[in-house]
Amino acid sequence: MSEQYPAEQQTERERAGRDIATLVYLIQAISIFTAVPFFVGVIINYVKMGDVRGTVAESHFRWQIRTFWYSLLWFVIGWATVWILVGFLVWGISWVWVCYRVIRGWLALSENRPAYT
């Protein structure tokens, strides 16, 4: 059951959620070049998830969390197959996919739309 908040408080929750989601998209964009911040972003998502329940940002948090876990999975698969050179292809495709997810999600957030349509 979702909690009901006064309109002013709900508006503040929406704004705060969007700000945090924007920060995590920025962290994920930086992570395209160096993976360490990716972990910081997903930790922020998990810690702040309760604060964004019932807001547009909630779908973006799910989007960002899934982006992290699937990219980690593809990194591990790429690492396990790099010795047969397939891993480089897996890493390349994964990199493009993460770029797509960050750009698509960030654009949807900037238009105040949920990440999932």
Give mean pLDDT in consecutive 10-residue pieces for the chain, a chain of 117 residues: 70 92 96 91 96 94 97 96 94 97 96 91
DSSP class of residue 52?
G
Indicate the pTM of the whole model: 0.89
Whether residue 117 is contained in a domain is answered as no
Domain tally, the chain: 1
Write down the pLDDT at residue 117.
75
Whether residue 1 is contained in a domain is answered as no
Whether residue 67 is contained in a domain is answered as yes
Record the tokens describing residue 26, joined without a space. 């920025």
What is the domain extent for residue 29? 7-110
Write down the pLDDT at residue 1.
39
Whether residue 103 is contained in a domain is answered as yes
For the chain, helix, strand, coil in percent to 5 are 80, 0, 20
**Dist. CA 59–CA 36, nearest whole Å:** 23
Whether residue 116 is contained in a domain is answered as no
The b-or-e profile of 72-91 (16+ CB within 10 A means b, else e) is: eebbeebeeeeeeeebeebb
Whether residue 34 is contained in a domain is answered as yes
Place of tokens 């197959």: 81
